[in-house]
Structure 1
Amino acid sequence: MMAKQDYSRVPLVLFALIVVGAGGWFGGVWFANRSAMENMPGMTSAKSMDMPGMSHESKTSGEMTSETMSGKGESTDADKETQSTHAAVMIDPALAKRLGVTVGIVESGPLNMNIQTVGIVQPDETRVNDVYLKTDGWVKDVFVDFTGKRIEKDSKLLSIYSPDFVSIQEEFISAREFASANRRSQLESSLQASALEKLRLLDIPEDEIQRLEQTGKPAKYLTLRSPLSGTVLEKNAFPGQRITSANMLYVVADLSKVWVQAKVYEYELTHVELGQPAIVHISAFPNEAFEGKVIFVQPSLDESSRTTDVRVELSNQDGRIKIGMFADVEIKHDMGTGLLVESAAVIRSGEKDIVFRVKGDKHYEPVAVHISPLKFGNRFQVLDGLAAGDKVVTSANFLLDSESRLRAGGGGAMPGMGGMDMGSGAKGDKEMIGHAH
């Protein structure tokens, strides 16, 4: 009779076999991954690591690495600070193109500070005349009866009846007759000269005085004439109106030259000087630019707006520019020449300004630069840190800045830029990126 077999230990044996098999499988996977990682571009074993303080660059083509900045010779404080916060980055040209990296050149150029402001066209105050009558009377005829009319110098404006004017004419005629009858009388000659002076003080033209001397008959009406050629801006005279010497009858302005009154902020005043060229654009003439110059800067400042008035003179011989038009004004200040870099190339962190300088085909070196607070168009003036001819990154530099900071801090993105979505080329880019420690 066969003895019974004990099957109670079978589950324990099977469990032990499963544990041993799983351990062997995981161990094989671990050794396989370790071998693959050691063979990845840019990864180094403990035996092949460089000495402390030495930078290492992978020799594998198409990889992205970084290295701590180390300059030759003495370093400035700014360089040392940059070395502690940024590391150089290396990118394969093909990957740089996919990342959108573009390059510009630092070059010497003119430092033209252009101040943009707005203004209003106004008449030249030195070419404006307010027309008054120097006696009292009543308006008879108005020859210039609307504003905006173009008139010439000595054009008739209006005629008036003035008792004073008639009386002075009669006085002049009597004094002249007495002087002719008594040629030796100094008194009569003095009276004639006095009456003649009164006529001239009333702005009676010389041809009217000659007519009075020849005819000996006083004119009933006094004719008021324009003192200059120009445009009538105001008219305050009407037929039958009673006027006095206090009434302003006309405003006549020569508009062959006009002013543009613009406002400039306090901080811009250092770039505004008398005689500077200015370009004026008026919306009525979108395809034209009018050239003018600064002729006056107001000596006082508006305390509420922190602005001051700047006056630009424009030629207006054809009269197309109208009083009251709005204008865009560009005042140009020539500050000589200097070193210029595109503003897009400068990363302004608040504490310092960083530019990535291109060294060779794939080496991007962070450089601390000192730039002027002034901006010339879309460029900054470089005061220190770069030289003419240097190539700098003008786009995708914030991506380089992030990678550079990570490397300098001992971290850095994993292959493929730390999980950034590279689009369709992500897989290929991962194969092109390595690390240097």
Structure 2
Amino acid sequence: MSGMEMPGSSDAPKTRAAPPSGFAEVRIAPEVQQRIGVTLGTVRRTPLTMTIRTVGIVRPDETKVRHIHLKTEGWVEKLFVSFTGQKVKAGDPMLSIYSPAFFAAQREFLIALQYSRAAPSPGQRNVVDTARQRLALWDVPMSTIEALEKTGKPSKSLILRSPISGVILEKKTFEGQYVMPQAELYTVADLSTVWVQGKVFAYELPHVALGMPATVTFPSLAARSFVGRIVFIDPVIDEPSRTVQVRVELPNPDGLIKPGMFANVLIAHAMGSGLTVPTSAVLRTGERDIAFRAVAPDRFAPVEVRISPLRFDDRFQILEGLKAGDEVVTSANFLIDSESRLRAGGGDMTGMPGMGVEQKEKKDAAHPKTTH
């Protein structure tokens, strides 16, 4: 028959399990299947990968950020690094200052050195070492101290040098400014690695762990994806949003990733393998989960299934009710579900377009309308 109907008991195999309570097996002719859009999917064993997607913002790696201060005070004479965004290498000069305290410290060192040479003694050598250490604690390079020791001529200016290679994120000084130790002059960041700060929901935390890989893409770099690793999970949950901050460390050797960029983060947790079906194959009623298994090209049997509470992308894991290789309905199953329930209750859907068409035509042929 081309319509939907309940197969006779003689058609059903003796070994077939009884339909769930309130449902009945239905028959749909192939041409009707095509008309109402019936499609099938296969129960198969697939990897079980819990996928977590979130968004994040790029931040500098805080372990590679330096806030530049002086350890003395004085007047800025010259800026060697004069704008934000400028690249520097470790040891590059950043600025020079005239510092009376620095000039006096050099003089003290030279005087102590002169006395030590004239009248060597352990005590005098200690004075020289103390004066030398004072200069070193001001970040004066050892080469500069050795040159001072050889020439005996104190330098008028103290040159401040970059402690790391990186990019100037902030410049807060200008020529002629009087600066003191508490004033921050520059912020330098090494951006060869960056952090992507994202948030995941609290229920996703069991699938996130330190060291796990994460794939990161950027709307502004659509043609590329980057792989980093999770290096931090906030120990505190944000109460209003019920989310937890997660930090992904990302290599950035080419400097393409800029602080402030928006990112899409994908974290995949591999959980072995199992039997799965497309999510559209399972009708969730709240009390039980039903799938319609194809038992013949034109027959579909309702099956109660038990699924995992987790969803793996667009598939559910089947724990009970189906086996590998079974074919199940993945679209138009709501229509089939309605017909199955009606059949179980003694009704049908022959009045609906495309449903039970052949039965309706036979009925009309058997009882033709009479006209007067």
TM-score when scaled to structure 2? Answer: 0.92
Q: Which residue of 2 aligns with 1:419?
A: 351
1:67 touches 1:87 (CA, 8 Å); kept in 2? no
2:47 touches 2:273 (CA, 8 Å); kept in 1? yes
TM-superposition CA deviations, 1:229-260 (whole Å, max 9, x none): 00000111111111111011111000011110
2:350 touches 2:357 (CA, 8 Å); kept in 1? no
**Residues 1:87 and 1:427: Cα distance change in structure 2 (over 3 Å):** closer
How far did residue 430 of structure 1 move? 3.7
C-alpha distance in structure 2 between counterparts of 1:68 and 1:198, whole Å: 101
Instruction: Provide structure 2 residue ranges, at least 5 long, that are not aligned to the other structure.
Output: 364-372
**Residues 1:429 and 1:241: Cα distance change in structure 2 (over 3 Å):** farther
Instruction: Select which of 238, 241, 251 maps to 1:305.
Output: 241
Provide the identity percentage: 50
What are the within-5 Å matches in structure 2 for residues 133-212 of structure 1?
A: 133-183=70-120, 185-212=121-148
Aligned length: 361
How far did residue 431 of structure 1 move? 4.7
**Residues 1:432 and 1:62: Cα distance change in structure 2 (over 3 Å):** farther
Whether 2:261 is the aligned partner of 1:325: answer yes
How far did residue 95 of structure 1 move? 2.6
How far did residue 65 of structure 1 move? 2.5
How far did residue 344 of structure 1 move? 0.8
The DSSP-based 3-state class of the residue aligned with 2:303 is: strand
- State the one-letter code of the partner of 1:160: I
C-alpha distance in structure 2 between counterparts of 1:72 and 1:349, whole Å: 28
Q: Which residue of 2 aligns with 1:250?
A: 186
Q: Which residue of 1 aligns with 2:63?
A: 126
The DSSP-based 3-state class of the residue aligned with 1:268 is: helix
The DSSP-based 3-state class of the residue aligned with 2:306 is: strand
1:113 touches 1:332 (CA, 8 Å); kept in 2? yes
Q: Which residue of 1 aligns with 2:31?
A: 94
C-alpha distance in structure 2 between counterparts of 1:173 and 1:63, whole Å: 108
1:264 touches 1:310 (CA, 8 Å); kept in 2? yes
What are the within-5 Å matches in structure 2 for residues 5-404 of structure 1?
A: 62=2, 64-66=4-6, 83-183=20-120, 185-404=121-340
2:44 touches 2:325 (CA, 8 Å); kept in 1? yes
C-alpha distance in structure 2 between counterparts of 1:178 and 1:105, whole Å: 94
Q: Which residue of 1 aligns with 2:370?
A: none
The DSSP-based 3-state class of the residue aligned with 2:223 is: coil
C-alpha distance in structure 1 between counterparts of 2:39 and 2:172, whole Å: 68
2:3 touches 2:354 (CA, 8 Å); kept in 1? no
- State the one-letter code of the partner of 2:334: F
TM-superposition CA deviations, 1:184-220 (whole Å, max 9, x none): x111111001101101111100110111011011111
1:358 touches 1:365 (CA, 8 Å); kept in 2? yes
TM-superposition CA deviations, 1:360-395 (whole Å, max 9, x none): 222211000111122111111111111111110111
How far did residue 62 of structure 1 move? 4.8
1:173 touches 1:216 (CA, 8 Å); kept in 2? yes
TM-superposition CA deviations, 1:150-190 (whole Å, max 9, x none): 0111100011111111111111111111111112x111111
C-alpha distance in structure 2 between counterparts of 1:190 and 1:279, whole Å: 58
The DSSP-based 3-state class of the residue aligned with 1:406 is: helix
C-alpha distance in structure 1 between counterparts of 2:16 and 2:298, whole Å: 25
2:20 touches 2:304 (CA, 8 Å); kept in 1? no
C-alpha distance in structure 1 between counterparts of 2:362 and 2:163, whole Å: 85
Structure showing greater Rg: 1
TM-superposition CA deviations, 1:293-341 (whole Å, max 9, x none): 2111111111111111101111111111111011111111111111110
Instruction: Provide structure 1 residue ranges, at least 5 long, that are not aligned to the other structure.
Output: 1-60
C-alpha distance in structure 2 between counterparts of 1:348 and 1:340, whole Å: 16
The DSSP-based 3-state class of the residue aligned with 1:153 is: coil
How far did residue 71 of structure 1 move? 8.9
C-alpha distance in structure 1 between counterparts of 2:150 and 2:92, whole Å: 23
How far did residue 74 of structure 1 move? 11
